[in-house]
Structure 1
Amino acid sequence: MDEAVDRARRIVDENDDGKPEGPELDEETRAAVAETVGLGGIKYADLHHNRESDYQFSWDKMLATTGDTATYMQYACARILGIFRRGGVDREGLGGESSTIVLEDPAEGDLAMALNRFADAVDMTAAERRPNVLTGYLFETANVFSTFYNCCSVLKEEDASRRASRLALCDLSARIFEQGLGLLGIETCEQM
């Protein structure tokens, strides 16, 4: 476990130190992110394979920032939380009876459909006792969110109802990553 945290710390340091605008994370945050990413990487690597199949142990694969890894999902969640932080938006203030989700862009519809499948993924995971069903769902949803993020402006959206709708989709996405990874015993990070 210490090896995973040490390797994750090197990755966190490299990524944060290499930012053009300069490092964002203080020492305490870097240590917390490294622990969350390192331990999450081990858990996810073990759970994302079908329990009846073998897999080859690889630190590089476990801690990769892309692909079917905990780090990829943790980064997706941190990216979403960054949208709220940069926009000064309170997640708790979203929603309510008056909020409407508008699905005008295909990426919005794809994300809404992916989010809607969460309960089914959890039910199937429990019924079949196969956590890899949930990891597969989370990976697919992270990819769909990434497409949404690249296609649909959120904070710069000028139409207030569309902006509110996209913020709601972001909030729902973050909640699903937090809950889904939480069910697997994996924590998320506010920043990475």
Structure 2
Amino acid sequence: MEESIQMPPEKSDSKETLVGSSGLVSAALTPEKDFEAITLEEKKQPKRVLHFSDGILEEFSSDEEDETDDSTPKIDPKTLTWIPYMWYYCVLGATKTLAVCDFVGEKFAWWLGITSPKYQYAIDEYNRLHAEEREELDQEAEEREEIRNRVAETNAKKLYMDPVGQPGTDPSASNI
């Protein structure tokens, strides 16, 4: 994608658009109008766009990553003699077998449960004990609340009872 610089018709003969090998677009300077020098850089497209809960990360490829390592040429096994031919297929078979063993080993370890943290049992036990303790504390708090309510009810009954123990009569009202 090349960007071009559009100049007004009266000034277009005094400027040229130059595109370098690096993709930069620049304009040649005129002595009297050097403040109009424009250098635009082509916008790089991100290699990957990663979406996170706290924002977006655009990953751009660097020049080092863009260069592929072609120092090892591709080998056509049909052109090899017998010993290199056998060696090529032995190495190829060994690398593929190792990759399969690695995959199967990971799945087997997951099935046995040895991929979990080393002290996961201790973490689970702590969480279980913490939940039991919280449940006991909640139950004790409910019991204390029930006891407070019963005490408040008995105190309220005692307050409105007459000295003889008959409910509903107020001793101060009979003196009037």
TM range (shorter): under 0.3
Higher helix share: 1
TM-score (norm 1): 0.23
Larger radius of gyration: 2
Larger RCO: 1 or 2 (CA < 8 Å, sep 6+):
1
